[in-house]
Amino acid sequence: MNFSKFFGLIKAHKIISSIAGLVLAIIVIINFSGSKNASNQLITAERKTLTQEVIVTGKTKPVTSVDLAFERVGKIVIANSTVGQTVVRGQILAQLDASELLASLNEADANVKDQQAQLAQLQAGTRPEEIQIYQTKEAQAETSLTDAQQNLIQKISDTYAKADDAIRNKIDQLFSNPQSTNPQLSAILGADAQTKSDLEFSRQVTENSLKSLNSLISNLNTSADFQISVNSVRQNLNQITAFVDKVALVANDAASRNPSQTTVAGWKTDIAIARTNVNLAVNDLTVAYEKYNASESDLTIAQQELNLKKAGPTVEQLAAQDALVSQVKAKLSNINAQLAKTVLRSPIDGIITKQDAKAGQIASANTPLISVMTPNNLDIEANVPEVDIGNIKINDLVGITFDAFPNEKFQGSVAFIDPAETIVDGVVNFKVIVTLSSKDDRLKSGLTSNLAIQTLSKDVALALPQFAILENDKGDFVRIVKNGTTQDIPVRLGIRGTDGYVEILSGLADLEKVVNIGTKDSGK
């Protein structure tokens, strides 16, 4: 190995390292000296014109823009408009399927004609043939009511039969002495003491409900007050249904814990059948009662119509029939109004900017599908933070640039300031509308704009650069040289100009010099 060469390389490396260190030290000293000199430079407070601006971004929006939506749900059958299409006011842009409404319209129109004809008949007087017709209608309504009463009585009887079978044939398998005052729940179910006690008590109450149902059915006939009877039946069925549901829960729990027990499984099946039969009885009763009420109403109407015909036209009857005519006419008008809601028409002359309506799709109510805007008539909308909104007022001049036209400047003014706040990303802002001083056909809706809102301007303000101001927790200061030493004196600031200068309201005289401190002081 050549040791002399090896040590020569080491020596050379040390020399290079020393030179690099020396160069670095010189650079640091020069930078430090330059920084120190910069901080000792003096700046003169001078009078100049200051303009204060609020800088925000915004977007162009049409002065008039309308989002159109159907007011009802339906299937779109016509969607013959496209984005960019020019439309006129009243032009159809989309339409829903209105076949059902048209059928209802025809029916309503027929009702109007029928009621008008009846009014004309009243005014002309009643013929014997007409009285015979209405007598037949009354007889038919009476027959229908009698049938409905018999059907309702039968359904009430059926409810007792189904409830009796559900309790005494299906549920009572789970009890000993079920119809006594001391029924006992089967121990096979393994219910806890509280549940067992509740079910045994409920069985006693259910027995009373069954007896009440049986008694009611025994005294039921066509002259009964069916509303009272049905309400009583429902109350008892509610008690029975609640009891069956409780038993079902216990049986299901027992079956899940002991799936191999065929006895419990059989009980579970019987209870399910019992629940189904009781619920079926409740539903049948409801349908029968509704049919009875409808028949009773039909009979009342038939009797009133017959009496009307027999009595002949009077002022009151004519007025009543006239009211019926008005009623069916109102229904007809309502259907026409609903038909109008199946059509989307342009409310303005403009251009379509959005078209999401497609033939065959189901439109949701109040979901915007089509948008129309007025062309070449745009404003700019921007959100201004609350710290700046107090400086802005109507008619403030605005300098505008657009990202789409970076080398061009536009002018405008503040036209509107929203009195209510707008929350943007959790921060309070206020919406401001800026109008352009002149129209430009190149501008389109949605362009990003940069707004410089001129809020205040002073022509002869005493000013210093922002970087010459010392700001800390104690206030605002400038640093001066006095008797060879530096001193910090307080100043009161005014507006801040867009060129980086700040107005000095007090604390400093014209042409007085201050030290260039270079950066803000943290106050520490």
Report the distance separating Cα 178 and Cα 469, nearest Å.
97
Q: Where among 266, 293, 312 does a domain terminate?
A: 312
Q: Where among 328, 356, 373 does a domain terminate?
A: 373
Question: What pLDDT, in 10s, does the model give residues 477-494?
Answer: 999 898 889 899 999 998
Q: Where among 259, 291, 312 does a domain terminate?
A: 312
Q: Residue 520 domain-assigned?
A: no
Q: Residue 495 domain-assigned?
A: yes
Same domain assignment for residues 347 and 490: no
The torsion angles phi and psi of 351, rounded to 5 degrees, stand at -125, 140
Report the distance separating Cα 356 and Cα 368, nearest Å.
8
> What is the count of structural domains for the chain?
3
Report the distance separating Cα 521 and Cα 477, nearest Å.
10
Same domain assignment for residues 244 and 352: no
CATH number of the domain bearing residue 480:
2.40.30.170
Same domain assignment for residues 293 and 357: no
Same domain assignment for residues 282 and 189: yes
Phi-psi region of 500 (alpha: psi -120 to 50; beta: other; left: phi over 0): left
Same domain assignment for residues 89 and 222: no
Same domain assignment for residues 389 and 303: no
Same domain assignment for residues 436 and 360: no
Same domain assignment for residues 138 and 271: yes
Question: What pLDDT, in 10s, does the model give residues 223-250?
Answer: 778 888 888 888 888 888 888 888 888 8
Token readout for 122 is: 């009243």
Same domain assignment for residues 357 and 493: no
pTM value is: 0.39
Residue 261 — pLDDT band, cuts 50, 70, 90?
Answer: low
Q: Residue 210 domain-assigned?
A: yes
Q: Residue 118 domain-assigned?
A: no
Same domain assignment for residues 219 and 364: no
* Domain that residue 189 falls in: 126-312
Question: Contact at 8 Å (CB) between 65 and 371?
Answer: yes
Question: Contact at 8 Å (CB) between 493 and 504?
Answer: yes
Question: Contact at 8 Å (CB) between 346 and 55?
Answer: no
Same domain assignment for residues 167 and 263: yes
The torsion angles phi and psi of 356, rounded to 5 degrees, stand at -105, 0
**At 524, which amino acid appears?**
K
Which H or E run includes 12?
Answer: helix 3-39
Phi-psi region of 71 (alpha: psi -120 to 50; beta: other; left: phi over 0): alpha
Report the distance separating Cα 446 and Cα 373, nearest Å.
12
Q: What is the mean pLDDT of residues 56-81?
A: 88
The torsion angles phi and psi of 144, rounded to 5 degrees, stand at -65, -40
CATH number of the domain bearing residue 358:
2.40.50.100
Question: What pLDDT, in 10s, does the model give residues 73-115?
Answer: 999 999 888 888 889 988 898 999 989 889 999 999 999 999 9
Question: Contact at 8 Å (CB) between 503 and 461?
Answer: yes
Reduce the DSSP state of residue 414 to 3 states and report it.
strand
Question: What pLDDT, in 10s, does the model give residues 138-155?
Answer: 899 888 888 888 888 888
The torsion angles phi and psi of 115, rounded to 5 degrees, stand at -65, -35
Same domain assignment for residues 359 and 414: no
Q: Residue 111 domain-assigned?
A: no
Q: Is the pLDDT of residue 504 over 70?
A: yes
